[in-house]
Amino acid sequence: MHKPRKRFGQNFLHDAGIIQRIVQAVSPQPGQRIVEIGPGQGAITLPLLDACGKLEVVELDRDLIQPLADRAAGHGELIIHQQDVLKFDFTALAGEDRLRVVGNLPYNISTPLLFHLIRQAPVIRDMHFMLQKEVVERLSAAPGNGDYGRLSVIIQYHCKVDPLFRVKSGAFTPAPKVNSAVVRLTPWRQPPAALDRYTDLSRLVREAFSQRRKTLRNTLKPLLSVEHIEAAGVDPRARPETITLEQYVALANQLTRLEPDERL
Ligand code: SAM
């Protein structure tokens, strides 16, 4: 019997109804390239494998690998990458077909993992993730909402965000202290706004939300003058949590114009 490891964020799903809803939301089809992050003891892995016949998984905990391979026997072709997903190269795996990525994620690494994945968004068709409910709220938050922040702007620049359903902590063993939710992230084929240089959006959003109660003229002082903020069509007296993704992109483009030669 495997003892769940806290340091690997191991909360195993046991609720058959929730497992079924996740698999239905993914709707796996034979021939698709599906990658599961953190298969654990196979709660989602086996139904996915039954539906599509072949699956690749990335699991860090060595002790889970052999039992998982044994459990998958007879369900289909399971390819196990025993690796840290934060270092996993999805782009190399993708080849011709874009990937469908699925996972009940280890919550302790969810934010760095989301950033790792969006850097590889061009090879990803969609992602279905179980996350802490508050993280899903931050991913999908609109301007003016208290949850709207750096994660919302950066993820929404890369993906369409669809929160799907909530999951109570009793669905897991052991039960986590937080509630959970399942979200679908679909990378845009065309970015939602014309951005000149991604590193400038990333810098600008980080700076803006470093002090979310202050006005943009104050938080952005190290990067843009009041005139530049106005030239982007943004009110310098606005607070960072009130302006839209398109306005962030316009501000980032001002920054690029100011420093055109900066290396990427
Ligand atoms: N999918 C299983 C389920 O639903 O019952 C397990 C989910 S559990 C929340 C997270 C899983 O991610 C665990 O199996 C854990 O060992 C694995 N994991 C944790 N950190 C990881 C990392 N850095 N890279 C890959 N897998 C990781």
Same domain for 175 and 214: no
pLDDT digits (tens, 9 = 90+) for 208-239: 999 988 999 999 999 999 999 999 999 999 99
Split into its structural domains, the chain has a count of 2
How far apart are alpha carbons 7 and 27 in whole angstroms?
A: 31
Domain span including residue 243:
198-262
Query: Does any ligand 1 atom lie closer than 6 A to the CB of residue 60?
Result: yes
Report pLDDT for 262.
54
CA neighbor of 200 nearest in space, from 262, 124, 107: 262
Residue with token string 């840290």: 84
Residue with token string 């969810």: 110
**pTM score:** 0.95
Same domain for 118 and 89: yes
- Residue of the nearest CA to atom 5 in ligand 1? 12
Band the pLDDT of 263: cuts 50, 70, 90. Answer: very low
Tell me if residue 221 falls in helix, strand or coil. Answer: coil
Phi, psi (deg, nearest 5) at residue 185: -115, 125
CA neighbor of 9 nearest in space, from 106, 82, 133, 132: 106
Same domain for 82 and 164: yes
Q: What CATH number did the domain enclosing 253 receive? A: 1.10.8.100
Residue with token string 């055109």: 260
Which of 7, 8, 86 for mutating ligand 1's site (highest number of atoms within 8 Å of CB)?
8
Which of 6, 10, 180 for mutating ligand 1's site (highest number of atoms within 8 Å of CB)?
10
pLDDT digits (tens, 9 = 90+) for 173-189: 999 999 999 999 999 99
- One-letter amino acid at 145 equals N
- Tell how far the Cα of 11 is from the centroid of ligand 1, in angstroms: 8
192 part of a folded domain? no
Phi, psi (deg, nearest 5) at residue 125: -85, -45
Tell me if residue 194 falls in helix, strand or coil. Answer: coil
